[in-house]
């Protein structure tokens, strides 16, 4: 941050939004009186403050404060030492440099304060402050949360000093108010907070605070884990740094080390920071298009073929205040009604924030949710009681809320749908990888995963297939990929020992005993994999053919199989997937010290057994007895034979690749020919259009020449009539004047403005002028002639 930026930031006023109702007017006056003159504060007041008893609110507040009081009717510049009030039934909003007033989105007190706080959070970030005072309802609670999320500080009036509960209690109950104080104490804390802000920015400490917090993250995460039992070290560092910096500002500390010491010596601050780091940003039907896609493309399929004894199981991970879980329940309830299904729905909503879970269990939300839920759904699934909405019983019965740590606790199982929205983006890549495997394990075959708009499944194509890329809906592939221990299971006892021991307990079944001995001692080893090579099941003693490496664990057979067998496994799996037939290779060998074992590999598709993805059985056959290196050298040079086999299969793969390349080239050539043909057609059409254009140009030229000839003829005719001094007037069929020659002015006093007027309305300037003939008479009789000799006023004789 440059010196200019520091100065500009230090000179910016804190923008303080105050929300209250009529019951909070006295508290507003107390707060403003305690603030005094404050050039570093701009105060915006919203709420249902105008009433019959407080029509003179502006003057009442002006008496209580030495700041300038402005009643906003049009955009006003934002400046310090100013109190801004809205008009009656209007709301206030703030931009970066202006205060705006307009009709509230909802009548009365509902939503007005939330609207103001929302605009302050977006426009002013860590320079925004939210204060809720005495009033009714829960308007302002959602807005306070937004101010906190954007780095600002929040206050609520203490119940001991409030005349009614309402807003302050709502803010305090859900833990979003940083300070719960009396009005005059809020004023004192505000001034301290602003001085702290100015000091750290002017001293340049703000530049280094980010680096200090980043360096202290390991110690802070350790202290937090000791106090809360939750480990945040794998969360994204940017999120941790931003939230910790906000707490440092709220406590008016100067360095990260001071804050670390504060956390270590104040257990309550560890709990506050814990709640601060939890991602509580949620709402009903967040991203409505995505929820609509879920309703139409996914949820109906969950109920198909279901019996009442087989409920649909849904897991909402990181449910926060429960709005997403209830949104899911509403969608299910709508589909149940449409399909007349009797299937049961079980929604498991989990979180680690006990306060958020208490809110979710109560199912009570502020009136502001009307902006998120349609009027039809509000009427059907909610009950309004006072200034709150209560979720109806039929929706609540579907949802079970539980405390559960997604990262460390055992996952749920047999889920049809998992919703984990806008949580993974706050976690590091290591935790994301772990959770995708957890989700895959928890889902039934063909189950669905619903993520947030900023979360992607592109790197987990082996676990999930995309159903809707735009709306982040994916479907589980294959069988469970929970890592199964590929090291040897507790070894089976020697078959004879086991059989003798079992014989003392149960009658001996010789057939079963023989089959068990054959399977244990003589049957080849196997592994069951999916089309990507992920191991789903395997026999004992498989470690003979696989080699685990240091570092990240892999459950993929192609990656962990012995290097001598890797090419064979890869090529056979590819061929089996493409042909869906059993394939074998018997030209492989496995080297173990000085011994070489000839091997045959078999890859065979298995019945799907209800799975949505095909699975394959890989069998490792040992051919004959192992041979020493010397024996192998004397027996047809096995290593050379192995090398020849490798070359042979590489050549076969190369030939297959060439064939695919040739086919691709042919397809490209065919496509190129089609493009050429299309191009020729376009050229032909272009030539036709060009020809038509030329014809139009020729026609246009002919019309232009005809127009010019007509203009010339008209001009010649006019000149002729003027030069001959013949008085003539041209009439239309209604005997209205169309045009006339200049000489007619000796007979009729006509002007150019008289065109269109009836000639009979003009008095002739000569005597004995005959009456005009009717147009129909002229049509019937032809030319009507009257010959008279008349003298005009100017003495000119005319023969008419």
Q: What is the pLDDT of residues 675-686, one digit of tens each?
A: 887 788 888 888
pLDDT digits (tens, 9 = 90+) for 334-349: 999 988 888 889 999 9
Beta bridge partners of 84: 44, 70
pLDDT digits (tens, 9 = 90+) for 262-283: 888 888 888 887 777 776 667 8
- Residues above pLDDT 70, as percent of the chain: 77
Q: Please give the pLDDT value at position 705.
A: 87
Residue 139's pLDDT band (boundaries 50, 70, 90)? low
Rounded to an integer, the average pLDDT of 572-592 is: 86
Detail the DSSP E strand segments found in 301-393: 312-317, 345-351, 364-366, 382-385, 388-391
Q: Please give the pLDDT value at position 162.
A: 67
β-pairing verdict for 388-391 and 399-403: unpaired
Residue 800's pLDDT band (boundaries 50, 70, 90)? low
Q: Please give the pLDDT value at position 346.
A: 92
pLDDT digits (tens, 9 = 90+) for 374-387: 999 999 999 998 87
What is the 8-class DSSP label of residue 18? E
> Could you tell me which residue, 484 or 248, shows the higher pLDDT?
248
Alpha-carbon distance of 278 to 651, in angstroms, equals 57
Alpha-carbon distance of 19 to 28, in angstroms, equals 9
The mean predicted confidence, pLDDT, of the chain is: 77
Residue 487's pLDDT band (boundaries 50, 70, 90)? very low
Residue 499's pLDDT band (boundaries 50, 70, 90)? very low
pLDDT digits (tens, 9 = 90+) for 3-13: 444 444 446 78
Q: Please give the pLDDT value at position 158.
A: 82
Q: Please give the pLDDT value at position 328.
A: 94
Residue range 3-202 forms a domain whose CATH class is alpha beta
Judged by average pLDDT, the poorest of 55-69, 542-556, 644-658 is: 644-658
Alpha-carbon distance of 273 to 276, in angstroms, equals 5
Structure tokens at 73: 């009717």
Q: Who contacts 51 (Cβ-Cβ below 8 Å, separation ≥6)?
A: 22
Cα–Cα distances (Å) from 157 to 129, 167, 246, 360, 645, in that order, read 14, 9, 21, 24, 83
Alpha-carbon distance of 621 to 525, in angstroms, equals 7
Residue range 516-628 forms a domain whose CATH class is alpha beta
Alpha-carbon distance of 401 to 317, in angstroms, equals 10
Element (H, E) at 9: helix 3-11
Rounded to an integer, the average pLDDT of 588-595 is: 79
Rounded to an integer, the average pLDDT of 203-212 is: 71
Tell the CATH topology of 288-476.
Rossmann fold (3.40.50)
Q: Please give the pLDDT value at position 648.
A: 66
């Amino acid at each position: 941050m440059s010196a200019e930026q520091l100065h500009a930031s230090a000179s910016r006023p804190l923008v303080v939004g105050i929300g209250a109702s009529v019951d909070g007017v006295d508290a507003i006056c107390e707060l403003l009186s305690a603030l005094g003159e404050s050039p570093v504060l701009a105060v915006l007041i919203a709420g249902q403050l105008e009433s019959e008893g407080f029509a003179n609110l502006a003057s009442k507040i002006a008496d209580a404060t030495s700041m300038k009081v402005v009643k906003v009717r049009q955009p006003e510049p934002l400046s310090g030492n100013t109190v801004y009030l809205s008009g009656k039934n209007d709301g206030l909003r703030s931009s970066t440099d202006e205060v705006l007033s307009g009709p509230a989105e909802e009548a009365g007190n509902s939503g007005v304060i939330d609207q103001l706080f929302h605009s302050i959070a977006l426009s002013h970030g860590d320079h925004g402050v939210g204060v809720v005072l005495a009033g009714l309802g829960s308007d302002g609670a959602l807005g306070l949360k937004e101010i906190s999320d954007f780095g600002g500080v929040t206050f609520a009036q203490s119940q001991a000093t409030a005349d009614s509960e309402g807003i302050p209690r709502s803010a305090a109950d859900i833990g979003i108010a940083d300070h719960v104080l009396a009005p005059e104490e809020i004023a004192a804390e505000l001034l301290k907070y602003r001085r702290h802000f100015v000091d750290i920015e002017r001293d340049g400490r703000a530049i280094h605070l980010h680096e200090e917090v980043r360096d202290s993250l390991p110690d802070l995460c350790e202290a937090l884990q000791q106090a809360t039992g939750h480990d945040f070290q794998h969360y994204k560092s940017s999120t941790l740094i931003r939230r910790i910096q906000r707490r440092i500002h709220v406590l008016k500390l100067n360095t990260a080390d001071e804050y670390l010491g504060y956390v270590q010596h104040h257990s309550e601050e560890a709990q506050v920071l814990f709640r601060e780091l939890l991602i509580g940003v949620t709402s009903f039907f967040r991203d409505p298009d995505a929820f609509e896609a879920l309703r139409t493309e996914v949820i109906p399929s969950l109920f198909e073929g279901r019996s009442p004894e087989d409920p649909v199981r849904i897991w909402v991970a990181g449910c926060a205040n429960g709005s997403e879980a209830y949104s899911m329940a509403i969608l299910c309830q709508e589909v149940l009604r449409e399909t007349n299904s009797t299937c049961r729905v079980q929604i498991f909503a989990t979180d680690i924030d006990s306060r958020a879970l208490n809110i979710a269990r109560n199912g009570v939300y502020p009136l502001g949710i009307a902006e998120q839920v349609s009027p039809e759904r509000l009427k059907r699934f909610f009950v309004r009681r006072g200034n709150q909405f209560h979720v109806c019983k039929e929706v609540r019965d579907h949802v079970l809320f539980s405390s559960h740590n997604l990262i460390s606790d055992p996952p749920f199982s047999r889920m049809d749908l998992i919703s984990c929205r806008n949580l993974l983006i706050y976690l590091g890549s290591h935790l994301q990888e772990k959770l995708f495997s957890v989700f895959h394990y928890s889902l039934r075959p063909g189950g669905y995963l619903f993520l947030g708009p900023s979360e992607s499944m592109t790197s987990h194509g082996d676990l999930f297939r995309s159903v809707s890329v735009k709306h982040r809906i994916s479907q589980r592939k294959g069988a469970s990929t929970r890592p199964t221990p590929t090291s040897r299971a507790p070894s089976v006892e020697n078959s004879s020992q086991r059989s003798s021991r079992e014989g003392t307990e149960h009658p001996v079944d010789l057939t079963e005993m023989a089959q068990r001995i054959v399977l244990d001692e003589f049957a080849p080893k196997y592994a069951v994999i999916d089309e990507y090579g992920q191991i789903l099941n395997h026999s004992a003693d498989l470690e003979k053919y696989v080699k685990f490496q240091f570092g990240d664990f892999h459950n993929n057979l192609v990656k962990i199989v012995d290097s001598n067998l890797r090419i064979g496994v890869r090529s056979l799996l590819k061929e089996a997937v493409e042909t869906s037939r059993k394939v074998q290779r018997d030209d492989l060998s496995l080297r173990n010290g000085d011994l070489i074992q000839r091997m045959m590999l078999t890859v065979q598709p298995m019945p799907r057994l209800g799975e949505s993805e095909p699975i394959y059985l890989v069998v490792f056959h040992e051919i004959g007895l192992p041979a020493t290196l010397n024996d192998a050298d004397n027996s047809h040079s096995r290593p050379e034979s192995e090398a020849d086999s490798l070359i042979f299969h590489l050549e076969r793969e190369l030939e297959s690749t060439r064939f695919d390349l040739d086919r691709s080239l042919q397809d490209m050539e065919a496509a190129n020919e089609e493009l050429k043909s299309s191009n020729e057609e376009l050229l032909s059409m272009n030539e036709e259009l060009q020809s038509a254009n030329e014809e139009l140009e020729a026609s246009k030229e002919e019309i232009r020449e005809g127009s010019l000839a007509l203009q010339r003829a008209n001009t010649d005719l006019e000149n002729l009539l003027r030069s001959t001094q013949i008085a003539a007037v041209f009439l239309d069929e209604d005997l209205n004047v169309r045009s006339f020659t200049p000489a007619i002015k000796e007979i009729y006093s006509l002007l150019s403005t008289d065109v269109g007027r009836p000639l009979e309305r003009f008095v002739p300037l000569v005597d004995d002028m005959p009456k005009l003939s009717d147009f129909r008479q002229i049509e019937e009789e032809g030319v009507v002639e009257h010959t008279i000799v008349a003298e005009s006023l100017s003495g000119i004789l005319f023969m008419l």
